[in-house]
Amino acid sequence: MFTTKWTTSERKYDVIVERDVKVRMPDGVTLEGDIYHPASGERFPVILGAHAYNKNLQSPPMRPVGFTPMRGYMESGDSTFFARRGYIHAVFNVRGSGNSGGFYQLMGPLEVRDVCDLIDWLAAQSWSNGDVGMFGVSYFARLAKAVAALRPKPLKAIFAPFAGTDDYRHRCYHGGILAHGFLTHWRNSLHRPNYRSLYKEAHGEAAYKEAIAQAMRDEEIMAVPGLREALQNPDVGTNALVVDVLLNPFDGEFWHERSAHDGNATVPAYLGACWGNYGLHLPGAFTAWKDWNGPKKMVIGPGIYLDRPLYQYQDESLRWFDYWLKGIDTGVMDEPPIRCFIPPTGEWKILNDWPPPEARWTTFYLHKDEILSEHELWPGEGVDSFDESPFEHGSATYVTPPLVENTEVLGPSVLTLYLSTTDTDVLLFATLLLIDRQGKEHELTRGWLRASQRRLRDDSEPWEPVLAHEKREPLEPGKIYEVKIPIVPTGRLFQAGERIAIRIKGADDEPPVNSLQALARNHLRRPRPARITIHHDESHPSHLDLPITCGNVIGTFFSGGDISSFGLSH
């Protein structure tokens, strides 16, 4: 890649591959990986990718296809791309995976420390110039951020888009609701995992058995065959990994050890995700942007994830690494820090910070007759109720009239509900929808909440409530509660004639239309029938706060702006 002012490293080297290289850790465990070298006697910077998947299938010579679960783990990027341009690319399995020794740590502190030691080893080799970067998405990126927080001296930059930050909230327990579908599938992507229970290791055999017995008294968990089987046979396969997640249903030390500490990181970081990945990686891009203390850039792309084997972002990463690892001025830091793709225009929007400084959170109230409007609630608007049971998954949807103005929504949304139930808990699934001119629904993003875990943390912002998830406080049947549901950020230009909608359910039974929506599905469900009631009146103003960045100057019209239906006066 080049312009009239700068050029990236030239493609000029042949490639030599060292297979199955073993590096000894301080405790004697060895990590195994492959190292791709430029065919030259020069010293080069090193780019590292660390993961728990099959290293032999990271970048095979095969044509990429769109993201599929079968290829989802091919996340290292094209090693030959880097090597041909004067970088050494090292791709290593973490402890307890592949042919690396030891027990798998589920991205725990020991795994992160191992990668720091591996970086020190790579920097000291005769073919290395002493500078190291890290590249890759998902697992690779998540681990890169955790390593950066420990500040190993040779690490000079990371290129780490598509990475969750908070494993409790972003991956395993959306809104406090176990996302068992992703968990039970993802464990099968691990390559030869050697796992033993971290809960048992920390608390002992007796406490482990008692905790399992307690989990087996949970009706929600036992209604899912795969979870029930894991608890009944914790020593079989990777069941212990699933059990460890089940035995840590609240935010605490287990999750703190496995969540990024982005505020400790000072190395340059390239962050990002795509709008479609709201059930896994997208929230982590924004929390990392908020906390990161080093130079940073962020790109939020179209909602289609990336092809596998991964190759997109290679040119952009080359500009990044040329700048930070080779000292080549590629102009990458002269450009605005944030770029967001805005559907359906196909164009990019430039931002200087996140959330967008120009965003104005506009309140849309939930009215009777399923209307969503900025207008204040009238007296006596009443309630809406729906049933939730193993046999019926009701819903309530509130929709604006057709928009008169093109209206851009960009940022996090917040749904505030006043609700009651006949049960002692409610699992809430709030979906932000676009309804097109033909009446077809398009799912944009989603928020979740277990109502018994409704307590907010003190660091919550009006535009971004953060749930504490420290304990459950059962609901009293029939009592009205106020709850706030954070909705994962999205970016969309709603065009005139389209409508904005919010759908509220007690289960996520909607069939996904693509693999990214599937990542946001398959949560636990309540096993007993209940009636859920949403209250919307002057005393209980249920509402949706939307981040408007363009349009909606006058607002929506109850009439939809259709003047042909107006009567003529004389």
Domain boundary among 232, 256, 280: 256
Average pLDDT of the residues in 91-118:
98
Domain boundary among 316, 351, 386: 351
Q: Which CATH number covers residue 111?
A: 3.40.50.1820
In a domain, 128, yes or no: yes
Q: What SS3 state is found at 299?
A: strand
Q: What is the pLDDT, as a whole number, of residue 508? A: 96
d(C-alpha 355, C-alpha 359), whole Å: 7
Structure tokens at 554: 């006058």
Q: What is the residue-wise DSSP string for 395-464?
A: EEEEEPPPPSS-EEEEEEEEEEEEEEESSS--EEEEEEEEE-TTS-EEEEEEEEEEGGG-PBPTT-BTTB
Residue 469 binned pLDDT confidence (cut-offs 50, 70, 90): very high
Claim to verify: residue 228 and residue 130 sit in the same structural domain: no
What pLDDT digit, counting tens, does each position of 481-495 carry?
999 999 999 999 999
In eight-state DSSP terms, residue 467 is B
Claim to verify: residue 104 and residue 35 sit in the same structural domain: yes
Claim to verify: residue 269 and residue 251 sit in the same structural domain: no
> Is 178's pLDDT higher than 80?
yes
Claim to verify: residue 318 and residue 439 sit in the same structural domain: no
In a domain, 397, yes or no: yes
Claim to verify: residue 141 and residue 236 sit in the same structural domain: no
Average pLDDT of the residues in 29-50:
98
d(C-alpha 480, C-alpha 335), whole Å: 50
Better-scored residue on pLDDT, 89 or 382:
89
Exposed e or buried b per residue across 498-537, where buried means at least 16 C-beta atoms within 10 angstroms of its C-beta: bbbbbbbbbbbebeeeebbbbbbbbbbbbeeebbbbbbbb
In a domain, 454, yes or no: yes
State the Cα torsion 519-520-522-528 to the nearest 10°.
170
> Is 192's pLDDT higher than 90?
yes
Claim to verify: residue 499 and residue 385 sit in the same structural domain: yes
Q: Which CATH number covers residue 460?
A: 2.60.120.260
Q: What is the pLDDT, as a whole number, of residue 562? A: 84
Residue 565 binned pLDDT confidence (cut-offs 50, 70, 90): low
pTM value is 0.96
What pLDDT digit, counting tens, does each position of 502-526 carry?
999 999 999 999 989 998 999 999 9
Length of the chain: 570
Phi, psi dihedrals of residue 55, rounded to the nearest 5° = -70, -25
Claim to verify: residue 407 and residue 522 sit in the same structural domain: yes
Residue 59 binned pLDDT confidence (cut-offs 50, 70, 90): confident
Claim to verify: residue 374 and residue 347 sit in the same structural domain: no
Q: What is the pLDDT, as a whole number, of residue 54? A: 96
Claim to verify: residue 526 and residue 430 sit in the same structural domain: yes
Starting from the edge strand earliest in sequence, which strands make up the sheet with 44-51, in order?
A: 15-24, 30-38, 88-93, 44-51, 128-135, 155-159, 269-274, 296-301, 338-342, 347-351
Task: Name the one residue in this structure whose structure tokens are 């942007």.
Answer: 289
DSSP tally for the chain: helices H, then strands E: 13, 25
What pLDDT digit, counting tens, does each position of 246-285 carry?
999 999 999 999 988 999 999 999 999 999 999 999 999 9
**Full domain range(s) for residue 402:** 360-554
Residue 563 binned pLDDT confidence (cut-offs 50, 70, 90): confident
Residue 568 binned pLDDT confidence (cut-offs 50, 70, 90): low
Claim to verify: residue 192 and residue 156 sit in the same structural domain: no
Percent of the chain at pLDDT exceeding 90:
94
Of the candidates 238, 211, 225, 147, the residue with the CA atom closest to the CA atom of residue 180? 225
Domain boundary among 226, 256, 286: 256
Beta bridge partners of 70: none
d(C-alpha 410, C-alpha 463), whole Å: 12
Residue 380 binned pLDDT confidence (cut-offs 50, 70, 90): confident
Domain tally, the chain: 3
How many Cα neighbours within 13 Å face the side chain of 551?
16
Residue 373 binned pLDDT confidence (cut-offs 50, 70, 90): very high
Q: What is the pLDDT, as a whole number, of residue 566? A: 60
- Contact call for residues 196 and 283 (beta carbons, < 8 A): no
In a domain, 287, yes or no: yes
Q: Report CA torsion sign: 547, 551, 555, 560.
A: negative
Of the candidates 521, 180, 161, the residue with the CA atom closest to the CA atom of residue 305? 161
Q: Which H, E and C letters describe 129-168, residue by residue?
A: EEEEEEECCCHHHHHHHHHHHHCCCCEEEEECCCCCCCHH
In a domain, 146, yes or no: yes
In a domain, 567, yes or no: no
- Contact call for residues 382 and 448 (beta carbons, < 8 A): no
Q: What is the pLDDT, as a whole number, of residue 69? A: 81
Average pLDDT of the residues in 365-393:
95
d(C-alpha 325, C-alpha 209), whole Å: 50
Beta bridge partners of 397: 503
d(C-alpha 286, C-alpha 414), whole Å: 15
d(C-alpha 448, C-alpha 505), whole Å: 10
Contact partners, residue 194, CB within 8 Å, separation at least 6: 96, 97, 102, 103, 104
In a domain, 8, yes or no: no
Q: What is the pLDDT, as a whole number, of residue 213? A: 98
Residue type, position 458, single letter: D
Q: What is the pLDDT, as a whole number, of residue 509? A: 95
d(C-alpha 250, C-alpha 33), whole Å: 35
Residue type, position 210, single letter: E
Claim to verify: residue 213 and residue 347 sit in the same structural domain: no
Q: What is the pLDDT, as a whole number, of residue 116? A: 98
Residue 70 binned pLDDT confidence (cut-offs 50, 70, 90): confident
Q: What is the pLDDT, as a whole number, of residue 133? A: 98
> Is 229's pLDDT higher than 70?
yes
> Is 44's pLDDT higher than 80?
yes
Claim to verify: residue 97 and residue 157 sit in the same structural domain: yes
Contact partners, residue 519, CB within 8 Å, separation at least 6: 182, 277, 279, 280
Q: What is the mean pLDDT of the chain?
A: 96
Q: What SS3 state is found at 178?
A: strand
In a domain, 20, yes or no: yes
